Amino acid sequence: MAGHGTHGVLYVVATPIGNLDDLSGRACMVLREVDTVLAEDTRRTRTLFDRYAISTPTRAFHEHNEREQTPWVLARLLEGKRFALVSDAGTPLVNDPGYVLVREARSHDVPVHCVPGPSAVTAALSISGLPTDRFTFEGFLPARRPRRVRAIERLAGETRTMVFYEAPHRIVEALADLRAVFGDDREAVIARELTKRFESVFAGRLDHLLTQARDGRVPARGEIVVVVRGGVPAPVDDDATDAVLRAMLDEEIPVGQAAAVAARLTGRPRNALYRRALELAGDSRA
Ligand code: SAM
């Protein structure tokens, strides 16, 4: 296993999100070979260890003790000890503890290696049937309604696919608020219990999914990811685009550069703006 100089090493190890067979061979090897595994819930990690006959000592490392545990772990990393960090499921630091430790380790030049694997974000996205070329991960929406609505409203103009984690007892309220902001017709997917026995995926328009959740066809239990299609980019007013281009051309900014800046400001295709900028430059010379 990797190790640099006298420093130890910290492995950030992804573990299954349900099906224990999803632990990678390398994850298994690393978990066997490190000195200590830092685990969000040592009993849950023990279940995984039993399945793979791993007997490495574990130490509790969770959101309530991460700050106080980090100096202890760091001191041992600097003495040359090897640690692996795991969370209850999926990839550590993705809505799970580890950020404080990884940052501290990096700032002390301790090597930090990833052992990639499952995460509910990418698992849900990969089967959603919604665009995956650009997406934004929003974690959990706020539990209380006014803050949740504000959080969704901030995404009103989002054109990328959005991925949310959601608690099962809040799925109906969350879908109602998503529908209120994004509209009845926005496509979405609810991915439940991925890789587990009762895995189920529901796809459709938000109003349809909300009806299904309200009448219990989408069970309000288990672990849930909600994926929502991004909105259509708002059309940019041509007068406004022209004004942006004209202002730059008046300042004698070259046509290509003006088109590039306008593309960033308006979200419109650069080549279309280039053609328009050439027309405007021609007008101003006429
Ligand atoms: N670190 C994890 C990861 O990489 O996905 C996420 C941890 S976060 C505390 C737990 C949330 O992830 C759950 O409430 C649920 O929204 C989502 N999740 C985890 N496992 C899941 C599964 N098997 N199916 C659907 N969602 C899951």
87 in contact with ligand 1, CB cutoff 6 A: yes
* Model confidence band, residue 272 (pLDDT cutoffs 50, 70, 90): confident
The gap from C-alpha 51 to its chain's centroid, in whole angstroms, comes to 28
Rounded to the nearest whole angstrom, what is the distance from the C-alpha of residue 278 to the centroid of ligand 1? 51
Q: What is the pLDDT of residue 240?
A: 87
* Residue 165 alpha carbon, nearest atom of ligand 1: 16
pLDDT by residue (tens digit) across 162-203? 999 999 999 999 999 999 999 999 999 999 999 999 999 999
CA distance 67 to 7: 21
Residue type, 268: R
Q: What is the pLDDT of residue 285?
A: 54
18 in contact with ligand 1, CB cutoff 6 A: yes
pLDDT by residue (tens digit) across 103-121? 999 999 999 999 999 999 9
For the chain, the average pLDDT equals 94
* Model confidence band, residue 6 (pLDDT cutoffs 50, 70, 90): confident
58 in contact with ligand 1, CB cutoff 6 A: no
Instruction: Tell which one of 189, 225, 227 to mutate to probe ligand 1, the residue whose CB is within 8 A of the most ligand atoms.
Output: 225
* Residue 164 alpha carbon, nearest atom of ligand 1: 16
- Range scoring the smallest mean pLDDT among 99-103, 112-116, 251-255: 251-255
96 in contact with ligand 1, CB cutoff 6 A: yes
Exposed/middle/buried for residue 120 (C-beta within 10 Å: 0-12, 13-18, 19+):
buried
Whether pLDDT at 286 is above 70: no
119 in contact with ligand 1, CB cutoff 6 A: yes
* Residue 199 alpha carbon, nearest atom of ligand 1: 24
Could you tell me which residues are beta bridge partners of residue 36?
83
Q: What is the pLDDT of residue 262?
A: 86
* Model confidence band, residue 4 (pLDDT cutoffs 50, 70, 90): low
Rounded to the nearest whole angstrom, what is the distance from the C-alpha of residue 224 to the centroid of ligand 1? 7
Helices (H), the chain: 25-33, 42-52, 66-78, 99-107, 120-128, 145-153, 171-182, 206-214, 238-250, 255-266, 270-285
Could you tell me which residues are beta bridge partners of residue 83?
10, 36
Q: What is the pLDDT of residue 264?
A: 81
Whether pLDDT at 216 is above 80: yes
* Model confidence band, residue 269 (pLDDT cutoffs 50, 70, 90): confident
Tokens 């910290």 locate to: 10
Instruction: Tell which one of 88, 224, 227 to mutate to probe ligand 1, the residue whose CB is within 8 A of the most ligand atoms.
Output: 224
Rounded to the nearest whole angstrom, what is the distance from the C-alpha of residue 90 to the centroid of ligand 1? 7
95 in contact with ligand 1, CB cutoff 6 A: yes
Tokens 């008046």 locate to: 250
188 in contact with ligand 1, CB cutoff 6 A: no
Rounded to the nearest whole angstrom, what is the distance from the C-alpha of residue 120 to the centroid of ligand 1? 5
CB 78, CB 8: distance < 8 Å: yes
Exposed/middle/buried for residue 40 (C-beta within 10 Å: 0-12, 13-18, 19+):
buried
Q: What is the pLDDT of residue 284?
A: 63
- Range scoring the smallest mean pLDDT among 140-144, 191-195, 263-267: 263-267
Count Cβ atoms below 10 Å from residue 75 Cβ, excluding itself.
11
Q: What is the pLDDT of residue 5?
A: 59
Report, as an integer, the average pLDDT of 269-286: 82
Count Cβ atoms below 10 Å from residue 44 Cβ, excluding itself.
15
pTM for the structure as a whole = 0.85
